[in-house]
Structure 1
Amino acid sequence: MQNIRLSKHHHMTIHWKDFISDEEVLAQDANLKERASIVGRVGIIMLSCGTGAWRVREAMDKIARALKLTCSADIGLISLQFTCFDNKESYTQVLSLPNTGVNTDKLNDMEKFTTDFEKISSSLTIKQIHIQIDHIQNKPSNYTPLIHGLAAAIACCSFIFLLGGGIPEMLCSFVGAGIGNWTRSKLNSKHFTTLISIALSVAIACIAYLCIFKILENFFQIYASHEAGYIGAMLFVIPGFPFITSMLDISKLDMRSGLERLSYAIMITLVASLVGWLVASLVSLKPENFLDLGLSPLLLLLLRLPASFGGVFGFSIMFNSTWKMATTAGCIGAIANTLRLELVDLTVIPPSAAAFLGALVAGILASFINHYNGYPRISLTVPSIVIMVPGLYIYRAVYNIGFNSIGVGALWLTKAILIIIFLPLGLFVARVLLDKEWRHFD
């Protein structure tokens, strides 16, 4: 009698090789259940990388066609249901993940695997295919928690300069965000639930900012107004991937996935903002305007380019991109985000319209690079425009609403929502212009 391996996890582990009845039969000649297991496993790994429903379904379709199957899938944030059909029967599976996250390096490997699958599937058995997928699924993170902390430090330090902060704010944000994201990375490695890791890491980041600020204030006599930059210490939690992919999924009528991703992004944003507000209330920190840096327009332009690069590069590393992919995204972000900021400063274009144009440029550049080296567009575009997400506006909205300044809070919230909506619209238009498959439904 065959031994049955039962998982003790709440989300029970699936032992995919248990589906194999004959290890010598080629994949294309295997039974429906075995072939469908490949389709489902590819889909759930793609979903675990943080990509949207359209990309997950496209990958499953490629695998299904190569295995002579028809696939119909319903995809959410952490679960998918699909049915595979052949000429005689159908087979349905329901799969789910214990948590969601972002891993652009694994996403790149999976896209290469699915692109090449039709060529290699004719000579491989089901077991050999599962072994190849094992190598991708079990690939460790490219970076340690220390590197994740340093990446967040660089990203938030750059972010706070782009918002108008000076050297004191940048230094405090560097330390606060670095310690905060290191904490989040350590908690994630221990499988703490998302809300716990977000709340604790944001609280620690804000307290670390305050400690460094008090040291600078007491020993270097910096102005008390520099406390306004503490928002920069918590910007590493911005849920850029779910925000952007939610809107893209909704635009393709993948409503289940889009609404679930949007709900998740709103939850993360609210928890982070409320924790930041609570800490600020306890220690009397206020989100005041930044002090004028006194930089000329030309010097500001020249400084915005490396700051935008640093911000996008840091976020890319947090998303587990390789150094080369992060550098590519950083170059895109340097161009797109600097263009956005210059449009706001030098023209009468409102910030939401400037965000749309910045995202459009990022999407167009990413499409050209995708054609050249095959990097997934979303691995380049999302880090490029995460730095455009108005985290400061969102926090000011929550802060003012928390102190019953409803009118002021609603104004900041409206500004934030407009920008957040226009960012994925820019990417959507870029895809419509340059991707014929995206612009049609079939």
Structure 2
Amino acid sequence: MPTSTSPLGVADSLTIRSEAAAAVGSELLAGGMASYRVKVAMSRTARALGLDSFTSIVTYTDITATATLNGRYRTRITQPGHVGVDVDHLYRTQRMVETLPERGTSAADVFEALARIKARRPLYSRPVNALAAGIACAAFAFLNQAGPTEILAVRIAATLGQAVRRVFQLRQWTHLLIPVIAAVVTACLYLTMVGVPVGLGWIPPGNLGGYMAAVLFLVPGFPMITGVLDLVRSDFSAGMARLTYSGMIILGAAAAIWTVSIAAGVDAQPATPLGLPFALELPLRALATFLGVLGFAIIFNSPWKIAVAAAAVSTVANSLRFLMTEGGVPVQLATLAATVLVGVTAYVIARIKHVPRISISVPAVVIMIPGYAMYTGFTMLNAGELAESVLLLQEAVQTVLAAAFGLALAHLATSPAWRRVHQPT
């Protein structure tokens, strides 16, 4: 049949085919995929649809793409309805793209497959999602030397805070307002959880070492890590947008919990080291890492097999990181080595299990992001403790960069396409 550029009436038109390829990219972008992989998936779909080329520019919220066929071209801009993180959708969309034939698929088949993916409900209920956040933050609290009382308070406050956050996410409120509200609710709950028992004389004063850890479910790990990966691939518009978004979320949440602490008249303090024997602390930290990553993976709506794989990979890598720091290695270098291990292991698992590499590597690395130091540094900065806050924030930023560059080095070592300037077409 002759090919037409008629937008709707002809099944194999340039317009319909380009719409189908762009729809694949839109679904991946909405689920949190890095820009380069979005381009690869759209180009793979375009070839299966019979298009001559499909060149795109992908930012954090937009796709601008030009498709060509038989000397004609069409350019369009696509915007996902809501950008977030949904590993289940990423996994299923990527599998759909991988199973497309080299040539001969129809736009109708692509649209039908995407419709089935979009119609999928979240894998975990709201209570499970909230409980996962509580477990993840409690694990973070232990890794930051919090005691049993503080861990319990973090567990309850983060669970309820995530439940509130999820309500507003489902209503699609603006991205900046949601973490501010969730941070205020979580901070108030934590102070109540430790303040009421103190007032009743059940526990001694203090127990504020988990105050910052309670809001760590708000750390935007996915856009933070993928933002640096985008910059490594020279996708500057996408990378800067993701990092700017991450910075806004962190600053909004930090300002909220600092405001609550001022209103309550409390001064957040670092947790007192537990002083556990090394032989006991190492397995406990490994267990906390596994539970923390598993919790974050559930928040990201990861299928169970992907969540467990990410948790297992992170347990090994973060334990190695702990051993290195205990041996005197700077935390930045230890983080770099650990995340290189995560990236290479995620590559092997992704090849064997046919899952998105990012769905394993990013949750596995989130536990290494020093969100506690970021929030504490911001609070100290507002309190006028300039020198201490700058040192803390500097170490936090360097650690985040080390984590992202570790994954980037793993990509460069295992993916020939990452080592070339060539963009997918």
| 1:9 equivalent in structure 2 | none
2:268 matched to 1:287?
yes
| 1:82 equivalent in structure 2 | 65
RCO higher in 1 or 2 (8 Å CA, sep ≥ 6)?
2
- Look up the SS of the partner of 1:228 in the other structure: coil
Q: C-alpha separation between the residues in 2 aligned to 1:257 and 1:330?
A: 28
**Aligned partner letter, 1:407:** A
Q: Which residue, out of 142, 164, 168, partners 2:149?
A: 168
2:326 matched to 1:326?
no
| 1:49 equivalent in structure 2 | 31
The 8 Å contact of residues 19 and 37 in structure 1, kept in 2 or not, is answered as: no
- Look up the SS of the partner of 1:82 in the other structure: strand
**Aligned partner letter, 1:230:** Y
Q: CA deviation at 1:255?
A: 0.4
| 1:391 equivalent in structure 2 | 371
| 1:376 equivalent in structure 2 | 356
Give a deviation string over 1:116-168, Cα, whole Å, max 9, x none. Answer: 1125x62x543233111100122111122211110100100011101111111
Q: C-alpha separation between the residues in 1 aligned to 2:150 and 2:261?
A: 16
Stretches of structure 1 that go unaligned for 5 or more consecutive residues are 1-17
The 8 Å contact of residues 333 and 384 in structure 1, kept in 2 or not, is answered as: yes
Q: CA deviation at 1:88?
A: 1.7
Give a deviation string over 1:282-317, Cα, whole Å, max 9, x none. Answer: 113323221231210010001011100000000000
| 1:216 equivalent in structure 2 | 197
| 2:342 equivalent in structure 1 | 362
Instruction: Tell me whether 285-294 or 360-369 shows the greater mean CA deviation.
Output: 285-294
2:114 matched to 1:126?
no
Q: C-alpha separation between the residues in 2 aligned to 1:125 and 1:263?
A: 38
Q: C-alpha separation between the residues in 2 aligned to 1:363 and 1:405?
A: 37
- Look up the SS of the partner of 1:118 in the other structure: coil
Q: C-alpha separation between the residues in 1 aligned to 2:269 and 2:416?
A: 46
- Look up the SS of the partner of 1:74 in the other structure: strand
Q: C-alpha separation between the residues in 2 aligned to 1:309 and 1:31?
A: 50
Instruction: Tell me whether 125-134 or 62-71 shows the greater mean CA deviation.
Output: 125-134
Give a deviation string over 1:20-61, Cα, whole Å, max 9, x none. Answer: 424xx5xxxx11111101111111111001111101001011
The 8 Å contact of residues 285 and 319 in structure 2, kept in 1 or not, is answered as: yes
2:386 matched to 1:432?
no
Q: CA deviation at 1:333?
A: 1.1
Alignment of 1:43-442 (within 5 A): 43-69=25-51, 70-118=53-101, 122=104, 124-219=105-200, 221-345=202-326, 347-442=327-422
Q: CA deviation at 1:219?
A: 5.0
| Cα distance change of structure 1 residues 294 and 371 upon mapping to structure 2, 3 Å threshold | same
**Aligned partner letter, 1:431:** H
- Look up the SS of the partner of 1:72 in the other structure: strand
Q: C-alpha separation between the residues in 1 aligned to 2:377 and 2:275?
A: 27
Q: C-alpha separation between the residues in 1 aligned to 2:261 and 2:323?
A: 31
TM-score (norm 2): 0.95
Q: CA deviation at 1:226?
A: 1.4
Give a deviation string over 1:371-412, Cα, whole Å, max 9, x none. Answer: 110121110011111111111111121111112222222111
**Aligned partner letter, 1:75:** V
Give a deviation string over 1:338-381, Cα, whole Å, max 9, x none. Answer: 21122112x12111111111111111111111111012111001
The 8 Å contact of residues 173 and 230 in structure 1, kept in 2 or not, is answered as: yes
Stretches of structure 2 that go unaligned for 5 or more consecutive residues are 1-5
| Cα distance change of structure 1 residues 337 and 285 upon mapping to structure 2, 3 Å threshold | farther
Q: C-alpha separation between the residues in 2 aligned to 1:217 and 1:162?
A: 24
The 8 Å contact of residues 7 and 13 in structure 2, kept in 1 or not, is answered as: no
Over the matched positions of the two proteins, sequence identity in percent amounts to 28
The 8 Å contact of residues 311 and 387 in structure 1, kept in 2 or not, is answered as: yes
- Alignment size in residue pairs: 416
Q: C-alpha separation between the residues in 1 aligned to 2:386 and 2:358?
A: 36
